[in-house]
Homo-oligomer: A and B are copies of this chain.
Amino acid sequence: MLHEEEESFRLGIAGYTFVKFKLDPALEMIKKVDVHWLCIKDFHLPMKSSAEEIAAFHAKLKESDIKGYAVGPIYMKTREAIDQAFDYAKRVGVDLIVGIPETGDLPYVEQKVKEYNIRYAIHNHGPGDKVYPNAVTVNGYIKDLDPRVGMCFDIGHDMRYGNDPIADFEKYHKRIFDMHLKNVTAATGDGKTNELGRGVIDIPKLVKTLRKVKYSGVCALEYEKDMSDPLAGIAESVGYFRGVLDATRKG
């Protein structure tokens, strides 16, 4: 079984999944499910980390054959916070920031993207998010900016808003740099994140779309159920995704 090795995209995990865990147990869980890509959250690698602390962090990940491919999501309420995030990403050595900027600061974000040549992916957060609820609104803000400004597309929040995340993926794929892979119990604000195979999003159809558009980013599983004891749900979700991949590769 080859899983995602033959795909244009990779399977990873969003650091927020481990908000209740320190780095060591988080890495142990990621290793257990044979995943190798992590979006780094600042509770595992603080923004003010020194060069030595960053090097130690990368070395620790490498011991588990895991690589940090991006940082975030990071909320940026001020230009100073934007400055800090780009400086952090550069020092961490990634070329992708998942962020939530003030809309008035988008020209400044674009300027920093050009200056650093680091991509910036805005995260959509569903019906409770008045600014960036879904892919359509995010696209409205970014479509005329530098093509390195795009989105970290959260398919669960998009579905909770009532959108069709698979249609949205296909429509906006050129600006989708990262994805929060998850499922939800309902296509409404009350929908809760659950195991990848148990929700209303059609994951086999999503996978076909990822292939069709040749998505080359990471599918970052963000598991937000049982957050104090998430391993079983993470494992079930990873297994489900790989079952879908293997079953449809030749189809």
Contact = CB atoms under 8 A, between A and B. Distances in A.
Contact of A232 (B1, B207, B232, B244): B232
Residue of A232, A234, A245 with most chain B CB atoms under a 10 A cut-off: A232
A204 interface: yes
Interface string A19-42: 000000000000011100000000
Contacts of A228: none
A210 interface: no
Contact of A243 (B33, B199, B235, B239): B239
Nearest to A226: B32
Contacts of A240: 239-240, 242-243, 246
Copies of this chain, complex-wide, total 2
Contact of A239 (B3, B197, B245, B248): B197
B233 A1 contact: no
Given A197-B246, A241-B243, A244-B247, 7 more contacts: A196-B239, A204-B246, A232-B232, A239-B239, A243-B245, A243-B247, A247-B247
Interface of A: 1, 3, 32-34, 195-199, 202-204, 207, 231-248, 251
